[in-house]
Structure 1
Amino acid sequence: MTIRHTFRTAALGAAALSAALLLTACGGTHTDTGSHSAHGATATAASHDAQDVAFAQGMIPHHQQALEMARLAAGRAESARVKDLAARIEKAQAPEIRTMSGWLKSWGEQPPMAGMDHSAHSGMSGMMSGEDMADLEKKKGAAFDSAFLSLMIRHHQGAVEMATTEKDKGRYAPATKLAGAVIQGQSAEIAEMRKLLDSGE
């Protein structure tokens, strides 16, 4: 009797332990499932399309030419306001070139090289030809200021046009956001440059 009682007690204890382990395992499985679901909801891959690639590949050389024009102002412009504007253009657009180049590399695309031949992009909206740039380099003083403002207005208008297309048709959120910033910033600079031209400063 004693041996039979001992076996029964042991069997009951084992059953209770098994039940406890089963409940713990179910609870753990439920917790793991919840965490996997949450992870899946947040792991959304960023996507882009051909328009985003075209925007970055076009805007990089466009910005590079604007920087080239802006850097001419330091030694040639007469107006302090033109020099200030040129410095602001350089400060804004140089980081944007780095940002767009980074996007292209992450997408497996080749960023346009700096120091390109202007004739290769002269058909792009607002871009200066090699002759335009050579003519600007020859000018100094008030003549430079007037030519710089006129050319940069046209250049900015081209950038705004390109950015508007990206904002309307692009898919990559950081690119459409940058396009919006280009539209806002360069539209304001166009208005500023027109006032400078009209005032003759």
Structure 2
Amino acid sequence: MRRRTAAPAALALLAALTLGGCSDDAREPGADHRGHGSADAQTERADANEADVMFATMMIPHHEQAIEMSDLILAKDGIDPRVRALAEEIKQAQAPEIEQLRGWLADWDAPTADASHGGGHGAGMMDEQDMAALEDAEGDRASRLFLEQMIEHHEGAIDMARSEVADGRHPDAVGLAGSIVATQLLEIERMNDLLEQS
């Protein structure tokens, strides 16, 4: 399994990018932001480009699979408590991001992604055999397989998020992409450390 370790300087830069890109007036998922002829809503749709739509469309099923992988590991006995804690953190972080991404697609009048889109080959997505292997694994083997698969999965998400940072136009979407890069680089470091200790 290929491993990547993020340099502290790179993480500091990414953190600065993320803080600069995030907006304090995050839109409430599920709310109707298109009513009342709002000029703000019209501006928000106009501020999204093709890269923003692609980022949201691909990241939703990618996050959904990460949650599915986490649920599989959390349902097992004999899992390293540190791996269990990581799976919980992934779920807590990515579930609200899915709702945010869905809200943006609705605001942009773009089709909402579903699991059938997948994250695309080369985006770190697990195939059916990978998911079956994780489901069948037990104990230490399951913990290790989860870490190995999630590293690859995170690397795919980071590649997609970096493309959004480079090419996206919607400021909140670019901010979320920067946050995904910074967060998941740190999680990859944690997972590599756990693999080395196992």
User: TM-score if structure 1 supplies the norm length?
Assistant: 0.74
**CA displacement at 1:74 relative to structure 2:** 1.3
Q: 1:191 to 1:160 in 2, by over 3 A?
A: same
Shift of 1:105: 0.6
**CA distance in 2: counterparts of 1:117 and 1:81, whole angstroms:** 31
* Contact 1:122–1:129 under 8 Å retained in 2: no
Q: Distance in 2 between matches of 1:128 and 1:190?
A: 17
Give the aligned partner of residue 85 of structure 2. 84
1:170 pairs with one of 168, 171, 177? 168
1:69 aligns with 2:69: yes
Secondary structure of 2:135's partner? helix
User: Aligned-pair RMSD on alpha carbons?
Assistant: 1.7
Structure 2 residue matching 1:111: 3-state secondary structure: coil
Deviates more, 1:73-82 or 1:42-51: 42-51
Q: Aligned in 2, Cα 1:158/1:180: closer, same or farther, shift over 3 Å?
A: same
Residue in 2 that maps onto 1:105: 106
SS in 1 for 2:75: helix
- Note the 1:12-31 alignment, pairs <5 A: none
SS at match of 1:95: helix
- Corresponding residue of 1:131: 129
Contact 2:124 2:153 in 1 (8 A): yes
Q: Secondary structure at the match of 1:45?
A: helix
Query: 2:60–2:113: 8 Å Cα contact kept in structure 1?
Result: yes
Please report the TM-score for the alignment, with normalisation by the length of structure 2: 0.75
Cα deviation per residue 1:16-54 (whole Å; 9 max; x = unaligned)?
xxxxxxxxxxxxxxxxxxxxxxxxxx9792311000000
Query: Contact 1:153 / 1:190 at 8 angstroms: preserved in 2?
Result: yes
The aligned amino acid for 1:48 is A
Give the partner amino acid of 1:169.
D
Q: Which residue of 1 aligns with 2:31?
A: none
Which of these residues, 154, 157, 167, is aligned with residue 156 of structure 1?
154
Q: Number of residues paired by the alignment?
A: 156
- The structure with the larger Rg is 1
Instruction: State the distance in 2 between where 1:169 and 1:93 align.
Output: 22
Q: Secondary structure at the match of 1:112?
A: coil
Query: Which structure shows the higher helix fraction?
Result: 1
DSSP 3-state at the match of 1:127: coil
More RCO (CA 8 Å, sep 6+): 2
Counterpart of 2:50 in structure 1 is: 50
Q: Which amino acid aligns with 1:133?
A: M
> Unaligned regions of 5+ residues in structure 2, if any?
1-38
Gaps of 5+ in 1: 1-41
